[in-house]
Structure 1
Amino acid sequence: MRKKISMIFLWLLCAPIFVLAQTTVTGTVTDADFGTPLPGASIVIKGTTTGVTTDFDGNYSIEAETGSILIFSYIGLKSKEVTVTANTINVALESDVSQLEEVVVIGYGTTTKKDATGAVQLLTAEDLNKGAITTADQMITGKSAGVRVVNNGGDPDAGINIRIRGGSSLNANNSPLIVIDGIPLSNQNPAGQANPLTLINPNDIESFSVLKDASSTAIYGSRASNGVIIITTKSGTKGAPQFNFSSNVQVGTLSNQIDIFDSAEYVDFIQNTYPDSAGLLGLNGTIYDTNWQEEIYRTSYTVNNNLTARANLFNKIPIRASFGHSEIAGILKESQLDRYTASLNIAPEFFDQHLKVTINAKEIATEKDQPDGGAIGSALAANPTLPIYDPQGGIFGGFYQITDDQGIVGPANPLALLKQRERNEDADRFIGSAELRYKIHGFEELTAVVNTGIDYSESTINEYFLPSAVAAYTVFDGLPIFNNFSPNYGENQIKRDHLLDAYLNYAKDFEGAINRLDVQAGYAYQNFTTQGTTFPTTTENGFRESQQPFKYYTELNLQSFFARANLTLYDSFLFTASVRADASSLFSEDDRWGYFPAAALAWKLDEEQFLENTNWIDQLKLRLGWGLTGQQDITGPVGYFPYTALYDDGDPTVGYIFGNQVVTTYRANAFNPDLTWEKTSTYNIGVDFNFFSNRLSGSVDGYIRNTTDLLAEVPQSEGALRNRFVSNVGETESKGFEAALQYRPIQTEDFNLELNANAAFNETYITDLDNITQFSSGGGIGRGTGVNIGQTAVGERNRTFWLYEQVYDANGSAIEDAFVDQNGDGVISDADRRFIPFEPKWTYGFGTFVQYKNLDFTANLRGQLGGKVYNANLLNRGYSLAAIPQTDSGFITNTLDLYNNGQYNGFSDIPSDNQALSDFYLSDASFLRLDNITIGYNLKPFEDKKLALRIYGSANNLFVITDYDGLDPENFDGIESAPYARPRTYTLGLNVDF
């Protein structure tokens, strides 16, 4: 006993020495979920900069004082602090599931990723595309399963087509609702702005929330049948002032050309095939080598500059302001877009943080020079042996044109079409909102919200034919007459869209079976008006003459009541129920209101006891949802008053001429008093998961969608005011599957590797069209009125071609006008045409992110499996006789290069209208595109300063792997005729934070 007391006394006496003594601490750092070693984990002595990292086996060794604190950390895992009391300290780091707490913006509120009950995807800065980004849509292309984004070519302001799960309608609008900071945008773009997402500077975007299923979109009711994309912009800071300057320069080159004859090949082709026309080769005995495609295209460039400031004024008012300028010279000559953007976000709080006021204001001004797109088609047809400029100077501003005694004949000089026409499209647009969010004093669980907004734009279009312009040239008495700098078209437009949302929100946490209740109810109002004047002209006596201006005015009003409740039970079950009642001015009073309920259930399996010992599961959630949404946006085909008899001012082009004055008349418009809501019902089942300490995460969804009372433009009975008008006919059924995965196999202090992939399957079938079996859905192929290949038919997929099956000879060559007799009746008729869908069933995207210390690398690819493209160039330029006009017109034209071993691989004569309806012109549209790669380097040159730099370079549209024989397989409408080529773009950029 005495010996034990002595030992204790000695230990107490020596304790201060032990505390201050240096000791070598060793151990192993492992993953708590797997027990596997963590290479590269960081161990730092708290309060110092002294530290080490673990080796490949997770082992470490550090000199530390007894009693000091070691901080163990590893990316993606929770840090742990351990006091040094022994020479061996083994640490197991647990999963950090903070990313599951990421805020997801949904309709009229927010949730978190772990509490979302619908098919909702959050895309933040690290998820978005990098590189040559000039519009917001480019940031999400290929990044979200089931979201297909296709632009209309390489135009700087190219229109876009966004489809979430393929769209739900036949002729009504199929684009998703786009909401920017609480303002739902109109589906009608201002004149002069083709891309609605040009409105917002990509540098201002914080995140995208993509709402896919009806249970998440039904709160938006009538405008949400095709999904919702919610864009949230960056806000101010409550900390110290922050500034950012970003700049990049982009250079674009022509990535591909349509394969037509070059000059030497063309000479050989004409001399051997049509020797009688050889005299039309060249000019005055000189054979020129003109590549007209290269002449109309150029090296494009873009310069983007953005400046952002974030601050906390008076330590009470978070504020963010930004200014951006983009100068874009398109790859097609004379294509130019200058865009100026400014944004302001202010979010002060008052009354002890009970009242929060959020003000968002965005201004965009665009100045666009829109070239004559006809130059692309002319470049395919123009004779490559002719000169660009007239050696004699000529009367066409120096450009060479083929003429006869009536004027220009044959394809117009492609470069002259670009240089001798000017079309200015200028637009100024402002979108602003003010939201007041008041947490009621004494009843803090109840919040009142009022949000008001406006989207206002003014647009001006002026088109001129410049001096010696081709279209302004006419011959009288053998002399050319020009109307120098003649106005050809003009338009002024004003759009005003107003918004008011007012709702109450009650949210309260409870103890017991009910964990949380969140209830909303409110009213929404939107009014869309567009008014403008067009100034058409006509050619009179060789001069451009102005016609009577044509004024227009449209208005659409939407009013709604909505409610939603979210309930959490036993920490495991999430219930969501919502209902919205919508009224649209497009329908009569008897059919004006539509009612759209939705419900969803989510079960957080990871919260259940039977999985509590499964340490590799961070999140596992099962979702079930159903919802009904509406559709009323049919204004494109039928205007804004489709349900009532209306007399409208006629177009000046169909007026009566009295003397020198054109007088328009009132005309009766077609109408349908029985129009009502198109309705879409969607069932969705999904699983969200996060495994292995955030290493593997993702979601899988399957859905069935049925649309009834389709708003479709269908044939009308004889005697109707129009032969086609909109009616509620039929049903469609869609089925689909989506999967998104993210894998982070390596996450250390110095090295990170992430892989992501998504894939989606979708097909929509038409199950009923009432008493109609099928009808034409357009699809012009350049063969005159009525020769269309698009068809809508019961039992077939939506968006199909209706074509004959081509017959081939033993050598694999197509036999003209020979088709498979599908029904075996011995007669080739419409009954032998097949329905061929041209939309792909599968779309996909995948990418990687690699970081080593300050260096990072990103690559993204995307593509589709299946789908078809009808090559209208092959139809209209893919036969040898296309080079020789059918009349003695004194000119010859180019054709596709189908020469092979001395034989022309195409047809010889002009294809008949029946031949034009052959699947011979179809090609598989499957492709894989390397969308972008980006290499960046981050550096902080001054350790004690805020200054941080990032330098990066990127390349976009590097290559496309495809069997398609045209220019580009990525084609939304399925028909390629004279496409605006997408450039291959290289970017060098700089970001500075200070």
Structure 2
Amino acid sequence: MQKKISMILLMLFCAPFYLMAQNNISGIVTDSETNSPLPGATIVIKGTSTGVTTDFDGKYSIQASEGSVLVFSYIGFEPVEKEVTTDVINVTLKNDVAQLDEVVIIGYGTTTKKDATGSVQLLTSKDLNKGAITTADQMIAGKSAGVRVVNNGGDPDAGINIRIRGGSSLNANNSPLIVIDGVPLSNQNPAGQANPLTLINPNDIESFSVLKDASSTAIYGSRASNGVIIITTKTGTKGAPQFNFSSNVQVGTLSRTIDIFESSEYTDFIQNTYPNSSELLGLNGTIYDTNWQDEIYRTSYTLNNNLTARGNLFNKIPIRASFGHSEINGILKESQLNRYTASLNISPEFFDQHLKLTINAKGIATEKDQPDGGAIGSALTANPTLPVYDPDGGIFGGFYQLTDDQGIVGPANPLALLKQRERNEDADRFIGNMELRYKIHGLEDLTAVINTGIDYSESTINEYFLPSAVASYSIFESLPIFNNFSENYSEDQVKRDHLLDAYLSYEKLWDGALRKIDVQAGYAYQNFTTQGVTYPTTTENGFRESQQPFKYYTELNLQSYFARTNLNFYDKYLLTASLRADGSSLFAKDQRWGYFPAVALAWKIDSENFLKDAEWLSQLKLRLGWGLTGQQDITGPVGFYPNTALYDDGDPTVSYIFGDRAVTTYRANAFNPDLSWEKTSTYNIGIDFDMFSSILSGTIDAYTRNTTDLLAEVPQSEGALRNRFVSNVGETDSKGFEAALQIRPIQTNNFTLEFNSNVGFNETYIKDLDNITQFASGGGIGRGTGVNIGQTAVGERNRTFWLYEQIYTADGAPIEDAFVDQNGDGVISDSDRIFIPFEPKWTYGFGTYMQFKSLDLTANFRGQIGGRIYNGNLLNRGFTASVIPLTDTGFINNALNLYDGTRYNGFSNIPSDLQALSDFYVSDASFLRLDNITLGYNLKPFDDKKIGLRIYGSANNVFVVTDYEGLDPENFDGIEASPYARPRTFTLGLNLDF
């Protein structure tokens, strides 16, 4: 005993000398399969937080004493421990394909790919789209089976529509829940921001976790009926400081235009078809050659710069900070978005790593110039033989505008619409959270977690009509458009969204039949408030006059209790069960709470005795899942207080005149105290497989989904406060199939070849609408009041057109107002209209990655099979009489170029409202798009091997293969009118690591 005590005292005495005897240990970390270096691998002295990471060439250097143990690790590889016995330690890491331990965020916890029981896909940096990426949604378009990402055109801040498995509702929200670093975003965007994913710099994103089926999403309850996208950003490092600078320049060009008459073609058409109107060609005998689409569009440029620093402050606090600036110009003139982003991640650990504090902070400031979108439609209509600028200078700031003694006639000058209006939409936004994760002393298997977050934004919108350098008003003195150079509209808004999650997590490993238990239970609180004021104006005596400010305030509160357990039996059989109770302020007290359970089973077939020795098989897993999710987000159609009888301040544009004052009134709001939860039940079966050392891997899923108590905006009875309001009506049934496949046929030291593909099928049918057979569901086509083509009907697919079937002549020409009599009663009526779904059943994506030594090539395609588009341009500009106004106003319009030199292949007269309801205007929207192609090269320009430089060039929206004759077949709403064209973009960029 005395000898042992003496040895301990001697060791304690010598310890400082051992600590002083630190050696410089260096080496290289490589991949066992390819022998290539692994940059970013982590080396930590075991039992400490001291560590470093490898440089671009896989090299490292660390101070460690002899006899200490170094732990080498890298995501996707098996960790290795090495005792320090020499100054040079080279390590080879093996692929961890057997364990498939990539971490997947699943909400209030994590799992691994091998242990996931639901339909969950992890997309990391190697999987995402490359090239001209300015917003996060562009990174995942076409990359996940069953996930459809469609933006609203080429606007730098174009709104997006993301659908996972097609969405589950009729009129309630169908967008997935988006969670950024533990903070769920509101579905209401701040004023001045159309795309919610503009707020996060793509350069900061580490991964996307896409949760598709109800067994994986039900833990989020009422906000998860349409799937969940969890975005995780990059964090600090325990190793040496690392810096990255990335920069790229993008040039955008107009990829396609709508085929309207050019000046010479237009002149021939008018002279041959309407010779009496030939005098309206040109100005003062001069025929101008004006391409109005060329006048409003431009070659755009975008500049992106990002600087990132990662490190380990005081060898104790991993930290990452980044700053980014993007100057994004749209191809439509006067369209621009300046974005400034900053992020900070700090994740220190205390009390012998029992307490982990994680702080995420992201700030964004956007300055947007939003042009007058009416210029696009005007450019399609304006006479191409007229000049852009007035030869005599004129009174319109130099722009030519056709007028008569009543004022402007014909379409407004398209370029003037862009140049003589300015609309500034500025928004500052902060999103951040602080998470405390405490592993309880003495009960290390039990962890207490508190997560608080905030999403705060301030927005300002100001719109002006700019001066036109008017020299003389002459007869136009009383016309507002010429005198109105003051502010036209302004708005100030503040949004505050608060979050609190508090839960306990218990995780325990055993050696018996139950190998692992992982349980979470807790409480979630979310509160969303928006308040603001608008300052409308009206025209008084030719000048803009401010009206009474209109204030608004909305609030939504959600509170929840949730629990989930994950059980692992024999490391073969997995069980997940969860329950969430949600309360929403949108519903009355007796309808407020909804309960959403879920359960999933998984069988790891590869772990069975008859397969566990099969070296060719890394994973074979069967998954079965069921879950119930809810829906309450109906604020779009009915506001935030749909269950309560309230009076609102009337719209300031609708007022009563008392004497010389315009006074707004209070109005009664429609309400429905019986509103309750929409409920979606989903069954899912899936297979995950990984074979031949990951040469072949993939996943296959099939599902059915039933939604009941649909929240739909339906017609109301006579005498109601509104003719349409939201009620719980009926149900829908959906079914779908998804498959994703990855093939890696070549993985060598000098050459890598990979292929990936995915396909998704989805269709939703309306099974019941209670006592309603069908009702209109939007689809305005620019005609008179009530001329809509969208329809919701029992027995039909969701999102359909309701149209007549066109009759044609023997040579294929449509006969005006002639339709198929579907029921044979001799009368053309609504009963003869047919339903035409416009959403595609099939979506797909595929791509390839090749690397030869330092050269790499990536290409990604995506598309859809089926779907329909109603060509609004063909309706409104595809007939000969569209060039001649109905009254003698002295102007002529342009039209679609359907003239073959002898006849115009369209209708003669303006189509009637009945003809507008013809399927003649509907086209197949199938397409294949080469979304992006990127070629990169890794350089080693300096002797300092810690510096790595990659240069790359890419092209986005390279080409589209389609039979659609309009502008673009990719259209979420199914109607093409005057769209903002998507540009073709070319990018040159670099990434510098040092």
The residue type equivalent to 2:906 in the other structure is: G
Which range is displaced more, 747-756 or 933-942?
933-942
How far apart, in 2, do the equivalents of 1:508 and 1:803 lie? 61
Counterpart for residue 561 of structure 2: 561
Deviation per CA, 1:252-277: give whole Å up to 9, x if none.
00000000000000000111101111
Counterpart for residue 385 of structure 1: 385
Counterpart for residue 258 of structure 1: 258
SS at match of 1:436: strand
Counterpart for residue 241 of structure 1: 241
Note if contact 2:98-2:619 (Cα within 8 Å) is conserved in structure 1. no
The residue type equivalent to 1:146 in the other structure is: G
Counterpart for residue 26 of structure 1: none
How far apart, in 2, do the equivalents of 1:131 and 1:803 lie? 41
Deviation per CA, 1:58-113: give whole Å up to 9, x if none.
xxxxxxxxxxxxxxxxx9998999xxxxxxxxxxx997416710000011010000
SS at match of 1:611: coil
Counterpart for residue 700 of structure 1: 700
Total equivalences in the alignment = 916
Deviation per CA, 1:930-978: give whole Å up to 9, x if none.
0000000012234553100000000000100000010000000000000
SS at match of 1:899: coil
Alpha carbons of structure 1 residues 270 and 612: separation in structure 2 relative to 1, 3 Å: same
SS at match of 1:973: coil
Counterpart for residue 376 of structure 1: 376
Alpha carbons of structure 1 residues 344 and 473: separation in structure 2 relative to 1, 3 Å: farther
Note if contact 1:192-1:460 (Cα within 8 Å) is conserved in structure 2. yes
Note if contact 2:764-2:797 (Cα within 8 Å) is conserved in structure 1. yes
Whether 1:720 aligns to 2:751 is no
SS at match of 1:652: coil
SS at match of 1:282: coil
Counterpart for residue 989 of structure 2: 989
CA shift for structure 1 position 482: 3.9
The residue type equivalent to 2:308 in the other structure is: T
For 1:458-469, list aligned pairs within 5 A: 458-468=458-468
Note if contact 1:235-1:319 (Cα within 8 Å) is conserved in structure 2. yes
Alpha carbons of structure 1 residues 944 and 792: separation in structure 2 relative to 1, 3 Å: same
For 1:357-376, list aligned pairs within 5 A: 357-376=357-376
The residue type equivalent to 2:463 in the other structure is: E
How far apart, in 1, do the equivalents of 2:825 and 2:407 lie? 51
How far apart, in 2, do the equivalents of 1:498 and 1:638 lie? 23
The residue type equivalent to 2:649 in the other structure is: D
Note if contact 2:148-2:843 (Cα within 8 Å) is conserved in structure 1. yes
Whether 1:545 aligns to 2:551 is no
For 1:432-831, list aligned pairs within 5 A: 432-468=432-468, 475=475, 482-483=482-483, 485-831=485-831
The residue type equivalent to 2:705 in the other structure is: R
For 1:48-67, list aligned pairs within 5 A: none
How far apart, in 1, do the equivalents of 2:184 and 2:78 lie? 39
- TM-score calculated relative to the size of structure 1: 0.90
Counterpart for residue 354 of structure 1: 354
CA shift for structure 1 position 223: 0.2
Counterpart for residue 270 of structure 1: 270
The residue type equivalent to 2:866 in the other structure is: G
Which range is displaced more, 614-623 or 481-490?
481-490
Alpha carbons of structure 1 residues 912 and 99: separation in structure 2 relative to 1, 3 Å: farther
The residue type equivalent to 2:147 in the other structure is: V
The residue type equivalent to 1:251 in the other structure is: V
The residue type equivalent to 1:595 in the other structure is: Y
The residue type equivalent to 1:710 in the other structure is: L
Alpha carbons of structure 1 residues 747 and 943: separation in structure 2 relative to 1, 3 Å: farther
Alpha carbons of structure 1 residues 943 and 626: separation in structure 2 relative to 1, 3 Å: farther
Deviation per CA, 1:784-825: give whole Å up to 9, x if none.
210000000000000000000000111011111111111111
Counterpart for residue 55 of structure 1: none
CA shift for structure 1 position 486: 1.3
Counterpart for residue 90 of structure 1: none
Alpha carbons of structure 1 residues 435 and 481: separation in structure 2 relative to 1, 3 Å: closer
Which range is displaced more, 907-916 or 481-490?
481-490
Counterpart for residue 68 of structure 1: none
For 1:951-990, list aligned pairs within 5 A: 951-990=951-990
Alpha carbons of structure 1 residues 477 and 619: separation in structure 2 relative to 1, 3 Å: closer
CA shift for structure 1 position 480: 8.8
How far apart, in 2, do the equivalents of 1:982 and 1:990 lie? 25
Counterpart for residue 335 of structure 1: 335
SS at match of 1:278: helix
The residue type equivalent to 2:978 in the other structure is: A
Note if contact 1:939-1:948 (Cα within 8 Å) is conserved in structure 2. yes
CA shift for structure 1 position 655: 1.3
Counterpart for residue 396 of structure 1: 396
Alpha carbons of structure 1 residues 42 and 454: separation in structure 2 relative to 1, 3 Å: closer
Deviation per CA, 1:834-857: give whole Å up to 9, x if none.
000000000000000000000000
Alpha carbons of structure 1 residues 630 and 473: separation in structure 2 relative to 1, 3 Å: farther
Alpha carbons of structure 1 residues 856 and 341: separation in structure 2 relative to 1, 3 Å: same
Note if contact 2:484-2:544 (Cα within 8 Å) is conserved in structure 1. no
How far apart, in 2, do the equivalents of 1:76 and 1:711 lie? 44
How far apart, in 1, do the equivalents of 2:142 and 2:473 lie? 47
For 1:42-53, list aligned pairs within 5 A: none
Note if contact 1:150-1:971 (Cα within 8 Å) is conserved in structure 2. yes
CA shift for structure 1 position 586: 0.2
Alpha carbons of structure 1 residues 481 and 195: separation in structure 2 relative to 1, 3 Å: closer
Note if contact 2:396-2:482 (Cα within 8 Å) is conserved in structure 1. no
How far apart, in 2, do the equivalents of 1:351 and 1:659 lie? 74
Note if contact 1:407-1:474 (Cα within 8 Å) is conserved in structure 2. no
Counterpart for residue 61 of structure 1: none
Counterpart for residue 110 of structure 2: 110
Deviation per CA, 1:257-302: give whole Å up to 9, x if none.
0000000000001111011111100000000000000000000110
Counterpart for residue 9 of structure 2: none
SS at match of 1:821: coil
Note if contact 1:95-1:618 (Cα within 8 Å) is conserved in structure 2. no
How far apart, in 2, do the equivalents of 1:353 and 1:202 lie? 31
Deviation per CA, 1:528-573: give whole Å up to 9, x if none.
0000000111111111111111000000000000000000001100
The residue type equivalent to 1:750 in the other structure is: N
Counterpart for residue 187 of structure 1: 187
CA shift for structure 1 position 319: 0.3
CA shift for structure 1 position 612: 2.2
How far apart, in 2, do the equivalents of 1:473 and 1:826 lie? 59
Note if contact 1:594-1:677 (Cα within 8 Å) is conserved in structure 2. yes
How far apart, in 2, do the equivalents of 1:777 and 1:76 lie? 48
How far apart, in 1, do the equivalents of 2:478 and 2:366 lie? 44
Note if contact 2:623-2:686 (Cα within 8 Å) is conserved in structure 1. yes
- TM-score calculated relative to the size of structure 2: 0.90
CA shift for structure 1 position 479: 8.6
Counterpart for residue 134 of structure 1: 134
CA shift for structure 1 position 143: 0.2
Note if contact 1:150-1:162 (Cα within 8 Å) is conserved in structure 2. yes
Whether 1:926 aligns to 2:910 is no
CA shift for structure 1 position 468: 2.6
How far apart, in 2, do the equivalents of 1:910 and 1:111 lie? 61
Alpha carbons of structure 1 residues 158 and 770: separation in structure 2 relative to 1, 3 Å: same
Counterpart for residue 295 of structure 2: 295
Note if contact 2:407-2:479 (Cα within 8 Å) is conserved in structure 1. no
Structure 2: unaligned runs, 5 residues or longer:
1-30, 38-74, 82-92
* Percent identity for Structure 1 against Structure 2: 83
Counterpart for residue 56 of structure 2: none
How far apart, in 1, do the equivalents of 2:439 and 2:944 lie? 41
The residue type equivalent to 1:543 in the other structure is: F
How far apart, in 2, do the equivalents of 1:408 and 1:147 lie? 47
How far apart, in 1, do the equivalents of 2:366 and 2:606 lie? 51
Alpha carbons of structure 1 residues 345 and 169: separation in structure 2 relative to 1, 3 Å: same
Note if contact 2:821-2:828 (Cα within 8 Å) is conserved in structure 1. yes
Alpha carbons of structure 1 residues 440 and 295: separation in structure 2 relative to 1, 3 Å: same
SS at match of 1:216: helix
Note if contact 1:474-1:542 (Cα within 8 Å) is conserved in structure 2. no
SS at match of 1:703: strand
Note if contact 1:333-1:371 (Cα within 8 Å) is conserved in structure 2. yes
How far apart, in 2, do the equivalents of 1:78 and 1:544 lie? 70
Which range is displaced more, 384-393 or 825-834?
825-834
Alpha carbons of structure 1 residues 616 and 645: separation in structure 2 relative to 1, 3 Å: same
